Structure formats: structure tokens, C-alpha cells
Amino acid sequence: MTPTEADLADALTTATRAAVTDLFRDNPGHTFYYVTLTTPGEAFGPALSAWSHEALAQRADADEVRYSYADSPFSILGEEHLKPVRDLFAARPEVFELDDEASDAEFDLRLRAMETALRRLSDEGLFGVGEARAEVLILAEVVPEDEDNVGRARRLNPPGPALDAWLAYWGVG
């Protein structure tokens, strides 16, 4: 049976919660400002990456890598939690094996599942509450850059310093 959008969102919520909880627990003294689920243009099952202010301060190229999931020392985290989710994604039709309309619908379904999972976790307070939440940017990103990343970022994050800094970084008003 093909996993549904709800199946993907539920599995992603559980896996991401476990992976982020491990990240925060295993890195005391780090203040995380960026947590992202990334997927390439084929919308394969996502990977989790993050940045902390402390890790960024160690980089001479901090301005260039501030929002680079791949350059972070916290890149591709929680694999033991996320691998089963990628298996669910793989059980769905391949995005590029479908006709254009079905491909777009499949792509959108996968990104909605990622966004739903992050929204649920934000609502639970996993990334902080109130002012603390506004200091953490959470994203469901298509990499490399995808114009729809901005819309997802705005839906997932409250107005505040984290979102404003990311939008300014990418030159988006």
C-alpha cells in the first residue's frame, strides 16, 4: 500500500522530533538558530541539518555558510530516525517518472508533509516558545535554492529576528 501524505507527515513528525531532541541533548552549550529538513528537486525523503551560533563562530567563512545545510558540523543528523521515513518516500511514485501534472502534485504532497511535520513540532514547542521561538529558523527546503522555500519559511516561522535575517541573507523583502 502506498503511504499517504498523512503517513509521511506522521512519520516525519516522529523522526524529526527524535532527531532534534537528540541534537539538543547531545550539544549542550549550543544555541541553535537554524534547523532544516532538506530534499533535492526529486523530493526524496529529507535529511536534517542545523547550525548553532557557537559552531558558526568557529568558521572564517561564516557569512557564506550561515544557512548552508551541507557546510554545518550538524549536517545530515538523525539518520537512524529518518531512514525509515525515506523508505516511505521511496514507496511512493518517483516524481520524475510521472507526467507533469502528476509530478507537480507528488512533489507538492511531499513538501507539504515536511512542512506539516515541522509545523506540528513548532506548535509543540520543540524549537522554543515566544521570543525564544522567534530566534530559531525552521525550514522545509528544496536544495539547491527553490523559490518556494521563501513561502514555506514564512508559513513555518513567526515574524522575528531569525526569519528576518534569513530573508535578508537571500535578498528577499
Taking only the tens place, the pLDDT of each residue in 79-131 is: 999 999 999 999 999 998 999 999 999 999 999 999 999 999 999 999 999 99
Q: Residue 56: its pLDDT value, please?
A: 98
**pLDDT band (50, 70, 90) for residue 145:** confident
Q: DSSP string covering 2-44, please?
A: PPPHHHHHHHHHHHHHHHHHHHHHH-TT--EEEEEEEE-TT-P
- Residue 123 phi/psi, 5-degree rounding, is -65, -30
Listed residue (144, 167, 143) closest to 154, CA to CA = 167
Q: Residue 146: its pLDDT value, please?
A: 85
